Every structure is written in structure tokens, then in C-alpha cells.
Structure 1
Amino acid sequence: MSTTTALPTRRAPDSFAILLMIGLCAIWGLQQVAIKSANAAVPPVFQAGLRSALASLLVWAWARSRGTPLFRDDGTLGAGMLAGVLFAAEFICIFLGLTLTSASRMAVFLYTAPCFTALGLHWFVDGERMRRVQWLGIIVAFAGMALAFADGFLPSGPAGASAHGSTLARAAGDALGVLGGIAWAATTVVVRGTRLAHTSASKTLFYQLAVSAVVLLALALGLGQAHVETVTPLALASLAYQAVIVAFVSYLLWFWLLTRYIASRLSVFSFLTPLFGVTFGVLLLGESFSTRFLAAALLVLTGIALVNAPVRRRAV
């Protein structure tokens, strides 16, 4: 790619971009359900490593077919390694958290990431200062998170020690969801605040997938998880969905949208992802949630929408 060619002017999302973003949010919302449905067959850390490894091979093949260099020395190695480690940390939290909490709850806690991203960019990246409406969004989202945590400590099963243990496990899974959101936000800050912001989307994605594959597979080996309990059609379909549809196709489509449309206008759709996640958890896994958790989720979604609110410019 020539670095002298002027970048195309980014425009507001049209109907095609809006429909594509809704589709992407549905794909991302289904991801938690896919992971949870395969955890019994493939240990979580090993499943995450296989997902990253398969997707990194697909990105490498895609970049090679388009003549996009992935191994040229452009000063991004250090930042790319850090982004990959953070990406691995995010999915360790997601995959382990889904063994403890529901896919619906994980979807809400994980997608607090835009709020943490806004805070990180405000503190570490020049020109990314938050506006008052974004601070309001942070407060509203964090209030929703606190309410959701409080709901998580309410027993959902039989009284006694088993209910107490289940409640503590669910709270731990919820906390891992938040940590996953923080790791996701930190990855975004690294990408935006380093030389990765000026490299190709394929190379940035390849760094995250390839490095995380090494980290996750090594960790799975160390934990004794580098095996498959049972090979089932559901587990294979889940792994294919995560690697091909989510980590390869959807991420490349997202990066493609970012090159043509205004990022802030696209990001506002992120509030749909936890909504899809909760819906799929209820419909496909038979999960349930309380009125308190529904109110908490609505607060989180409102906060995300406020954080991603587009800047209103005065007419001149």
C-alpha cells in the first residue's frame, strides 16, 4: 500500500453500514454462548488458544493473498507483543469466567470495555480528552455494574452452603468479565497510542492473534488443559464459529468499516452487543435473569451509548 495516497474521507454510516454493524453486534453477542457451549468438551484456556491459532493462520493467508506485509520491521514489534499479551489476558478472563457465570452476565460485564477505553484514552492518548457527556456515561455504566454485582450476590439456588458457593463462583465469574473488559480496553489504548495506529489492520490483528495463541497454548499446556475431553459436533461448530466467523471475518469487516465510516458513529452500535448476548443466553442456553439485573444491564447500555455519543459540531 502506498503511504502517499490520501486516505478516503470517512462519512456517516449509511443503511448498508448500519445493517452490517447490527449483524456484527449479533455475531459478537453470540460469541459468549458459543464459548460456554464448548467448555465441557474443550478446556477453556486450550479452547481460547486454538481459536487464536486458527484465526491467525487465516489472517496470515488473507494478508499474503493481498500482498500485505506482516513481518516487515516497522517499529511495531514491542507494541504488537504487548497488544497480543493483553488480548490473551482478555480471553483468559472470558473463557474462565464463563465456567463460573452465565453468558448473559458475561456479555454485560465484558462490554463495559468502551467505558474503560474512554478512560484510558483520556489519560494516555493526546487529543482524546473526554467530554462531560462521556463522564456522565462512565458514572451511569459503573452504577449499573455495581447494581449487577449486587444482584450476583443474591442466592439463585437452594439455601445453604451450596447456594453460598454458587453465589461466590458467580461473583468471581462476573469479576473476570470486568477484568476482560479492562484488558480489551487496554489493548485498544495500546493500538491507538502507539505505532500500531499507523500500520495495517491485518498486521495489528495478526499481532493480537498470533501472540495470544502462543501465550494461551503455553498456559494450557502448563495447566494440563492441552487436551480435548470429547469431540462433539457442537464443540467443533463452536470453535469454527469463534475462529472463522468472529476472530477472522467479523474483525476484518470491522476494520474495513473503520476505514470508510466515522468511528464514533460506528461505536455507538456497541451497546447492541450485550443486548444480543443476553438475548442469546436466554434463548439458546435457557438462562434467566432478575428484574434487578435487567435494570443494571439497561444502566450499563445507557452508559455505553453516552460514552460513544457523537460530537456535535457548531455550524459555521
Structure 2
Amino acid sequence: MSLPHIGLALIVNIIWGFSFVAAKVAMEQYSPLLFTAMRFLLVALLLAWFLRPVKGSMRMILAISLLVGVVHFTLLYLGLSIAGGVSAVAITIQLVAPFSLVMAVVFLGETIRWRRVMGLLLAFGGIMILGFDPIVFNHLNGVLLVAGAAFCMAGGIILMRKLSGVGAMALQAWIGLISFPILLVFSFMFEQGQIEAVMTLNWRPLLALIFTVVITTIVAHGSWYYLVQRYPVSVLTPYGLLAPLFGVGFGVFLFDEPISWKFIIGGVVTLIGVLIINLRTAGKLETKS
């Protein structure tokens, strides 16, 4: 990867790390499905200019929208609401990395060199040290929901690699438009108090929602899609392991959470793993022009 693209990948993961905090704050007022529906409604409105049918790609766009927009985010935010804390969710969602690597080998025919395998194992091991303590298993239902969300996101990444001729903003706009009505119906089927939550002005949850829409959904996911179109999945997914590290860091800074030996050791091991992954191996990576 070029240095600017490495920097972009790091910025995206800083945003994703903070998004766990933002989502937790937003769901102090908005129920999970309502929050997700509002998120995608605002995305569709902000990116409405990009909503143009793409000949030959609409079925793939529909599949990505259902898998990522509806199923992934529903499972993720439901899991976050019952998992007992940000840490367990931030750790479990990193299953996207191994899921994506396996799918890339099976469906895209990509190869993974031994150095990246070692780096991935170190990075994932660091994440486990960072947050997988016994308390996680007291909220097993939430953890399983987030694991399902990770699997769906991995599948979505593979589908994105097969999608061509669709820009990042256009894809985000279509995901928002397709996902919003489905999620809103689910919200009214399974949740209560939607109107009261929307009509009550509370700045903290509202600003958290705006951050999730503009920064996380449009900027971060759009930037990641830009990278996905240019680099193999096996190169990009290990960087996603940094998101929970940043998430825990924001938790320490914003909520005065103590820094434990797990945080220090896990963070160092994770960064070493990502460094190993990014070292040059035989041959150069080919990127799309």
C-alpha cells in the first residue's frame, strides 16, 4: 500500500473506533433498529444526488444493501445494546478479518503469504488480550449477535470486490435508500417509543447520530470502499483490527476508564502484527488504476 492509503486506512479505523462510543451514546435515547433506520434515512437524503440506477449492477447493490445495511447493522446494534459494554462489541466485530480472509481465498482466489498470516495472528491475538476477559461470556447473546454481524460484513466486503462501475458515494446512497424502509418497519414491529424518542431534543444522542451518519457512514465507509476497490481484501482487513484499540483508547480518554496491562500488552501486540503485515513481501502488490 502507498503511504497516503496507509494513512487513510488508519484514519478510517480511528473513526470506527470512536463510532462505538457514538453509537452507545445515541442509543441512550434511540432504540437500536430506530437508530439504524434514522442513520440510513439521513444518509440517503444527504447523498440523494448519487441515486442513479446502475445498469447491470442493481442486483449486486441490492444484495450488498440487504446484507450490510439491514442484516449487519441490525445485528451489530442489537448486540451493542445487550452486550454490556463497548469493549466486547469492539473485539467481537473484528471477526470480520478472519471471515474476510477465508472468503477471499474461497471466492476470489486470493493468496495469503505466511508473513501476513503471522501478522494477522499476532494482531488478532493482541485484540483478544485487550478485551476478551471472562465478563464477555456473561453477555453471550450480544456477543453472538455481533459475531453474526461480522460474518455479514465480511460477505459484504467480498460482494463489493465483485462490484464495478459504482462509486463509493453512490453505493452508500443506495444502501441508505434500500435499508431505511425495511429497518423502520422492523423497528415498529419489535420496538416501542419511536415517536417520543424522535420528538425529544437531546443534544448528546443527536450529535452522536450526526457523527455516525456523516463521519462514520459517509466518510469512513466511503473511504474504505475506495480502498477495497484498489487492494486485495487480505491486505486491508488486518487494518480493521486497529479499530477496537482506538475504541478502548477513546473510552479511556472520554470516560476515564483505567488503562490495564491488557490494554498495554494487547495494543503493542496488535501494532506489531499490523506492522508485520505491511512489510514488503516478494513481489509488489498490484492496485487498480
Q: TM-score, normalised by structure 2?
A: 0.79
Change (3 A) 1:205 1:309: farther
1:117 offset after TM fit, Å?
1.0
Amino acid at match of 2:153: W
Amino acid at match of 2:85: S
Q: Deviations over 1:72-96 (max 9, x none)?
A: 432x222222211211222122212
For 2:62, the equivalent position in structure 1 comes to: 81
For 2:186, what is the secondary structure of its paired residue? helix
Any gaps of 5 or more consecutive residues in structure 1? 1-10, 65-69, 155-166
What is the one-letter code of the residue matched to 1:231? L
Pick aligned residue for 2:104 from 121, 131, 134: 121
Give 1:36 deviation, angstroms.
0.2
Alpha-carbon shift at residue 231 of structure 1 (Å)? 2.8
2:287 is matched with: none
1:13 alignment partner, one of 3, 7, 23: 3
1:44 and 2:32 correspond: yes
CA distance in 1, matches of 2:117, 2:231: 25
Among candidates 58, 78, 88, match of residue 105 of structure 1: 88
Q: Is the 8 A contact 1:147 1:293 kept in 2?
A: yes
| CA distance in structure 2 between the partners assigned to 1:29 and 1:202 by the alignment | 22
- Determine what percentage of the aligned residue pairs are the same residue: 24
Q: Aligned partners of 1:30 and 1:247: how far apart in 2?
A: 12
Which structure is larger by alpha-carbon Rg, 1 or 2?
Answer: 1
Q: Deviations over 1:94-131 (max 9, x none)?
A: 212222232233222223322221111111113x1222
Secondary structure of the 2:283 match is: coil
Distance 2:112 2:250 in 1: 33
With 95-104 and 238-247 compared, the bigger mean Cα shift is at: 95-104
Counterpart check, 1:242 vs 2:212: yes
Question: Shift in Å at residue 145 of structure 1?
Answer: 6.5
How far did residue 178 of structure 1 move? 2.6
Quote the residue 1:181 is aligned against: 150
Letter of the structure 1 residue corresponding to residue 13 of structure 2: C
Instruction: Tell me which residue corresponds to 1:200.
Output: 167
TM-score normalised by structure 1 residue count: 0.73
Selected match of 2:20 from 29, 32, 40: 32
In structure 1, what is the equivalent of residue 138 of structure 2? 168
- 1:71, distance to aligned residue in structure 2 (A): 1.2
Offset at residue 39 of structure 1 (A): 1.0
**Compared CA separation, residues 204 and 243, structure 1 to 2 (3 A):** same
Q: Superposition RMSD on alpha carbons, in Å?
A: 3.4
The aligned amino acid for 1:71 is P
Residue in structure 2 matched with residue 90 of structure 1 by the alignment: 72
Give, in whole Å, the separation in 2 of the partners of 1:122 and 1:256.
Answer: 21
Answer yes or no: is the 8 Å Cα contact 1:112–1:141 preserved in 2: no
- d(CA) in 2 for partners of 1:313 and 1:18? 18
Contact 1:30–1:276 under 8 Å retained in 2: yes
Question: In 2, distance between residues paired with 1:21 and 1:141?
Answer: 16
**Corresponding residue pairs, total:** 279
Task: Give the Cα separation in 1 of the matches to 2:23 and 2:222.
Answer: 20
Between Structure 1 and Structure 2, the one with more helix by share is: 2
Cα–Cα, structure 1 residues 222 and 102, in superposed 2: closer, same or farther, change >3 Å? same
Q: Which digits, 9 at most, give the CA deviation of each residue in 1:217-255, with x for residues without a partner? A: 221111134444343001110111111122123333444
Partners of 1:28 and 1:257 lie apart in 2 by 15
Looking at structure 2, the residues matched to 299 and 290 of structure 1 have their Cα atoms a distance apart, in angstroms, of: 14
Match of 1:218 in 2: 185
Alpha-carbon distance between aligned partners in 1 of 2:104 and 2:149, rounded to the nearest angstrom: 17
Q: Give the Cα–Cα distance (whole angstroms) in 2 for the partners of residues 31 and 19 of structure 1.
A: 18
Per-residue deviation at 1:50?
A: 0.6
Deviations 1:260-290 (A, max 9, x none): 8898776664343222111112222344575
- 1:130 corresponds, among 79, 104, 112, to 112
Identify if the C-alpha distance between structure 1 residues 259 and 139 changes in structure 2 by more than 3 Å, giving closer, same or farther.
closer
